[in-house]
Amino acid sequence: MLLKQYKSHFFNSLKKSQDEQEIESFFFILTEYLHNLKRVDVALNPNFELSDEEVETWNAILAQLQQEKPIQYITGEAWFYGLKFEVNENTLIPRPETEELVEWIIESWKLEAGSWKSENQKQINVLDIGTGSGCIPIALKANLPQTNVSAIDVSEKALDVAKRNAELNKVEINFIQANILEVEDVSKHQTSNSQLPTNFNIIVSNPPYVRNLEKQEIKKNVLDYEPHLALFVEDTDALLFYRKIAQLALKNLTPNGILFFEINQYLGNETVELLQNLGFKNIELKKDIYGNDRMVKSSI
């Protein structure tokens, strides 16, 4: 069968559950994943033929897509901030909104690094809490190589993925497994390499923030496949992780250190109020590319 013939079958099989633009994206992700053919290569090879075995492979993937399994879990990879990451069902799939958070951190680092270094700091320290695939700390380390970057997660399986991603992207991250809700002082924990720094210039977290009452808004591909441990929080205390991490930041941020959060779009004002009540200053609430309240920056 010619690839262009299979393309018609592929589109027809998915058009009830996906829009055309997304189906097209899936198709070209798979041509590169399965055949090392980019979009331009497909156009230049109209008579590219699939073997019977290759058609079976495409059919198996198509069946998974019809069940709305995320294509990133099918291929086992995702791109984030220009870097390639391994992903599986133990980690969330990195999202564009989180890339915006990384961009904001890098911009802030460039503005503040001079003042931090003038305080006789040998190294600028960064901590990511709830790291998942490791996309945030790895992207930061790749773009700010002079920083010392550490990352915490409760899931051993997620950390295994994050460690492989650090190796894949040739960066060194200090990883530690810990339930942040049980941590009293992050500097007391040992990493796989060494003890965490006493204080951090930047602490960042994208913790669980989706309330159970919002499950009806979650698409099937997220609800059925992505790890609920990293997604959901009880309705009765939706800011549980934010409160705990902010309290730790009061202990473990350097003077003029910055705390960054990715947040629930519906709880922007509540998150700001929480930080205000804990004594944080210079609080900024920022929208994402979709116009939703998505991230907060504050300092002590």
Question: What mean pLDDT, rounded, does the chain reach?
Answer: 90
The pair of structure tokens assigned to 89 is 């069902």
Q: In whole angstroms, what is the distance from residue 35 CA to residue 14 CA? A: 21
Sign of CA pseudo-dihedral 215, 216, 221, 223: positive
Q: Nearest-CA neighbor of 270 among 285, 251, 249?
A: 285
Q: How far apart are CA 289 and CA 25, in angstroms?
A: 20
Structure confidence by residue, pLDDT tens digits, 240-263: 999 999 999 999 999 889 999 999
Is 52's pLDDT higher than 80?
yes
Taking the whole predicted model, whether its pTM rises above 0.85 is answered as yes
Higher pLDDT, 10 or 19: 10
- Whether 194 shows a pLDDT value over 70: the answer reads no
Give the pLDDT confidence score for residue 221 in this predicted structure. Answer: 66
What pLDDT does 219 receive?
76
